[in-house]
């Protein structure tokens, strides 16, 4: 019985085998990158769907608010409040001087307290006026509160005028030639204080409701999160396309990515199949990944290598040995 002579692989054969192994490793690594990119794409796609659902829910609640919830934004209301306190600062400083306070810290604290008191009176009046924007019946307590706030505003202005008048009169007596009469200066500063109270009143009466402000802030936060997830999703999709394009450029259809041993001991190289769908990259059962080839593919490759002269065609004896005849009368 003739046995095939065993021989050591040549340098070219060993180099070719190492190149095939390197190509198989590159193919497996690139397919793993594609699977990871597709996983990130699915993750951010799910996040975008959930964020869109939450944003639509909050936006629906925001759009369903009644008209009386609308008004000056809370941010502008806070800014107007700071301006009102700043306007109240100068008249309040003269009131603090009338109490003969010498310590600078105590003087500043007293000035700030008087200024904030004017702002609180204006804000309280504005909040009571804000309640009239709703179509509702007002109780007796509401009208009592309105009356108390108006009386408090009048007393605040009168006391402020008297204290300023006392201080400006003392200053005018010490001065040789005062520019303004004490009562004129006191009255002008009292009018400035009234302007601060009026600004606080208008800001409080025309502000938006806290419910609308809360929904507006929540909607803006969800919108920023949704936009960020969309940007990440677009980046993940670009990464998937780039990974697939790089794999297609390195391993085009028909590129040899593996080698198997035939039954007669010959090395048979096999190529990647037709271009696969995106989901096939996650499968480990495809011939190009698992190293399997169908019999029809092996026969075509053997025929192609025979035509190129890389392997010898099977002899009649080997053909008879591999495919014995079963004609009538033939001896086994």
pLDDT digits (tens, 9 = 90+) for 289-329: 334 444 555 555 555 555 555 555 555 444 444 444 444 44
User: pTM of this prediction?
Assistant: 0.60
| Residue-averaged pLDDT of the chain | 76
Mean per-residue pLDDT for 263-270? 45
Q: What does the DSSP 8-state code read for residue 102?
A: -
CA distance 102 to 92: 15
Q: What does the DSSP 8-state code read for residue 252?
A: -
Question: What is the phi/psi pair of residue 257, to 5°?
Answer: -130, 10
pLDDT for 23: 64
Least confident range of 96-110, 215-229, 245-259, 268-282: 268-282
* Percent residues over pLDDT 90 in the chain: 33
CB atoms within 10 A of CB 81: 20
Question: What is the phi/psi pair of residue 97, to 5°?
Answer: -65, -30
Give the pLDDT band of residue 218 (cuts 50, 70, 90): very high
pLDDT for 307: 55
Give the pLDDT band of residue 2 (cuts 50, 70, 90): very low
Radius of gyration of the chain (CA): 45
Least confident range of 80-94, 135-149, 168-182: 168-182
């Amino acid at each position: 019985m003739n046995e095939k002579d065993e021989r050591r692989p040549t340098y070219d054969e060993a180099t070719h085998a190492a190149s095939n192994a390197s190509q198989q490793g590159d193919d497996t690594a690139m397919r793993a990158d594609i699977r990871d990119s597709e996983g990130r794409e699915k993750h951010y796609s799910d996040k975008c769907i959930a964020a869109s659902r939450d944003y639509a829910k909050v936006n629906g609640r925001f759009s369903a608010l009644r008209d009386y919830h609308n008004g000056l934004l809370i941010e502008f209301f806070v800014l107007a409040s700071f301006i009102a306190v700043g306007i109240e600062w100068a008249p309040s400083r003269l009131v603090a001087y009338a109490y003969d306070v010498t310590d600078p810290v105590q003087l500043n604290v007293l000035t700030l307290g008087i200024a904030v008191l004017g702002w609180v009176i204006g804000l309280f009046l504005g909040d009571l006026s804000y309640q009239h924007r709703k179509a509702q019946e007002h109780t007796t307590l509401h009208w009592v509160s309105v009356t108390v706030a108006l009386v408090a505003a009048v007393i605040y202005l009168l006391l402020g005028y008297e204290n300023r008048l006392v201080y400006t009169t003392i200053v005018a007596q010490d001065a040789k030639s005062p520019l303004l009469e004490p009562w004129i200066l006191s009255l002008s500063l009292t009018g400035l204080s009234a302007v601060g109270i009026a600004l606080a009143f208008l800001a409080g009466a025309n502000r938006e409701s806290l419910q609308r402000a809360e929904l507006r802030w929540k909607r803006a936060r969800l919108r920023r999160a949704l936009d960020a997830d969309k940007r990440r999703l677009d980046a993940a999709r670009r990464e998937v396309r780039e990974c697939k394009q790089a794999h297609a450029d390195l391993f085009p259809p028909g590129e040899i990515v593996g080698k198997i041993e035939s039954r007669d001991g010959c090395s048979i190289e096999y190529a990647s199949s037709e271009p696969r769908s995106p989901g096939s990259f996650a499968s480990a059962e495809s011939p190009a990944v698992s190293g399997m080839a169908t019999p029809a593919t092996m026969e075509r490759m053997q025929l192609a290598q025979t035509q190129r002269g890389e392997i010898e065609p099977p002899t009649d004896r080997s053909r008879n040995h591999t495919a014995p005849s079963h004609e009538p009368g033939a001896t086994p």
